[in-house]
Chains A and B, each alone.
Chain A
Amino acid sequence: MKIIVCVKQVPDAKDVRLDPKTNTLSREGVQAIMNPYDRHALEEAVRLKEQHGGTVTVLSMGPPQAEAMLREAVSCGADEAVLVSDRAFAGADTWATTYTLAMAIKKIDDFDLILCGKQAIDGDTAQVGPGLAERLDIPFVAYVRKINNCIANIMQVERLMDDGYDLLEVPLPALFTVVKEINEPRIPSLKGKMRAKKIDITKLTAVDIEADLEQLGLKGSTTQVVKVFSPELKGARAILAGTADEQVTQLYDKLLPLL
């Protein structure tokens, strides 16, 4: 089974928060990490490989420093790594991103399954997976929480829904986006780390993937960001005073009429 995993390098949003005084983002110590959902996609791909044989290729579109993340992916079990990187990609929205990834995948050509995380934690759009599947004209399933089996090139998967789950059969090749529940990602093995150090990462530019320059980056994007601002926090901030008992009594009195 030939599996491609799309991974993205993102700033670690977890510890970022607004500085209440300056109302700007404090990004001290914020690192570039592999998008956490993509880590689950990678883990699932490696498990499928271990079960069915085959190869796992990690693919990323990003700046040159995304190479470090791809090496980490190799240390966690990926066999090949491809970085699609070009200044022409900067400012891409999901439309231009799926175009770029689709062209890169056509270059890689041979695959049975593409796995992505359900969304990236920076943009949170969750649009690249389904958009990419449409561009490649292959079946798509979002929010896969379990892959039950794969018999005669048909995969049985569970899709997490708002009110439960759906059980689906999907003919390969297909693209899934996965949720955290699907697995617990492994930590890199020593052998994996050694391999990651030495591996040659395939680097592709806009020319290499034979992309139409009109479709790339900011120019190829259908959407534009016109304004970026800090969210407004509008609490009354009435801090209740007194001893614990007094505070609780005040709170109780405030709550009662609301119940």
Chain B
Amino acid sequence: MLQIDVETCIGCGLCESTCTFGAIKVEGGLAVVGETCTLCGSCVDVCAVGALSIEREEKTTQDNLADWSGVWVYAECRHGRLAPVALELLGAGRKLAEKRGVPLSAVLLGSKIEGMAEELIACGADKVFVVDDPALASFTDDAYGNALSTLAKKHKPEIILAGATAIGRSFIPRVATTLATGLTADCTDLAIREEDGVLLQTRPAFGGNIMATIICPHTRPQISTVRPLVMKPLVRNTERKGEIIKVQLDPTLLKPRVTVLDSVVEDLDRVNLSEADIVVAGGRGLENEKGFAMIRELADLLGGAVAASRAAVDSGWIPYPHQVGQTGKTVAPKIYIACGISGAIQHLVGMQSADTIIAINRDADAPIFDVATYGIVGDVFEIVPKLIAKFKERKSA
């Protein structure tokens, strides 16, 4: 329950304007909490006089938390390729492991994957657990979930990181449920709390409108899925030494209830978007599909990929694989050119880590300019064609 100290409350209304859920209101000079309160705590933080508190009846702490030690990274691979996020997680995991003074291990699940273990060591792992089994050739929640939770139960890591990818976000919740521990989805920042070594997991929520730092204080392991393209991988070093531990698991654990009939790679554009150095993106300001033809022309000239805001995708001007933002892809290219995108926070969270952001928009107050390196206040239909002409000139010169 949210407690309001009526003696201390001055009815200033800070809490009311902060509450995302419209759950707290000032009535008759005092804050009053309603049914929609989710106990998120933002009002407690904002209250200048300390009148608000959340009474926490804490969960019973699991026995022997200290028995759980070490940082693990689930190293995702699919179709014979290590997911780039696996290496990013080793970069993030290395820092956490050093802070905790514990080893960093990677877990590799798949079929015919052994060459990848060396790569994981070169990128920061001290140990690599490899389960190489034909039953893991295709991704199934059952087999992957059982494999990872069985290993975790045996070796007791204090932290497990996985990519917030389709695969990670599908089976990691099952692992957390099996291990009866907490999970924080889609983290964009990880740190160790100095006083007790607890993992501070920060993530966007509410469409990216708020950031929340979350802990898992009473159970182990602490598990996070981490947004791709946010953490930085280490510099690859083939001199680095590590231990490769091959594990055989009971075949019944790897027998899935579902059958994967086929696994189809399609839409390379989608893959390109995540890995492109240059992204040209369009939003509501493009008005229709034809607006996107202009965006594509600029992207092609620059050798870049085409992206879109949710507004443009929802209007049906361009398919969903091009969507960048909280409910679409996250990109971190060298150059991001936002054309006719107002910059709803849900879009900004998906692209604000680009090195250079160019915003072209008619509305000088559009929030896109708050993340822009360079901005042009103007009509996209005037500016973009001129820019295209410039680059065409250069190309023919």
Complex contacts, A22 vs chain B, CB 8 Å = 17
Complex contacts, A210 vs chain B, CB 8 Å = none
Report the Cα distance A121→B60, complex, angstroms: 30
- Asked if A122 CB lies within 8 Å of chain B CBs, one says yes
Complex contacts, A140 vs chain B, CB 8 Å = 141, 170, 174
Write the chain B residue with the least CB distance to A163.
B265
Q: How near does chain A come to B161, taking the closest CB pair, in angstroms?
A: 15
Are B170 and A127 in contact, with the CB atoms below 8 A? Answer: no
Report the Cα distance A143→B139, complex, angstroms: 13
Are A233 and B170 in contact, with the CB atoms below 8 A? Answer: no
Complex contacts, B394 vs chain A, CB 8 Å = 256
Chain B, interface SS category: mixed
Chain A, interface SS category: mixed
Report the Cα distance A29→B393, complex, angstroms: 48
Complex contacts, A16 vs chain B, CB 8 Å = 20, 206-207, 209, 345
- Asked if B376 CB lies within 8 Å of chain A CBs, one says yes
Looking at the complex, which of B99-107, B212-220, B243-251 is the stretch in contact with chain A? B212-220
Given A122-B205, A124-B185, A131-B176 contact (CB < 8 Å): yes
Interface size range of chain B in the complex: 35 or more
Report the Cα distance A160→B285, complex, angstroms: 29
Report the Cα distance A66→B306, complex, angstroms: 39
Write the chain A residue with the least CB distance to B140.
A168
In-complex Cβ contact of A223 among B210, B216, B369, B371 (8 A): B216
- Asked if B260 CB lies within 8 Å of chain A CBs, one says yes
The 5 sampled A-B contact pairs (Cβ below 8 Å) are A25-B210, A139-B141, A233-B370, A235-B371, A239-B374
Complex contacts, B365 vs chain A, CB 8 Å = 20
Are A226 and B263 in contact, with the CB atoms below 8 A? Answer: no
Are A231 and B335 in contact, with the CB atoms below 8 A? Answer: no
Complex contacts, B7 vs chain A, CB 8 Å = none
In-complex Cβ contact of B369 among A95, A224, A235 (8 A): A235
Report the Cα distance A240→B364, complex, angstroms: 12
Are B215 and A131 in contact, with the CB atoms below 8 A? Answer: no
Q: Mark A248-259, 1 if CB is under 8 A from B, else 0.
A: 111110111011
Are A231 and B208 in contact, with the CB atoms below 8 A? Answer: yes
Complex contacts, A221 vs chain B, CB 8 Å = 59, 182
Given A164-B267, A225-B212, A125-B374 contact (CB < 8 Å): no
Complex contacts, A150 vs chain B, CB 8 Å = none
Complex contacts, B177 vs chain A, CB 8 Å = 95, 98, 130-131, 134-135
Report the Cα distance A224→B379, complex, angstroms: 46
Are A18 and B209 in contact, with the CB atoms below 8 A? Answer: yes
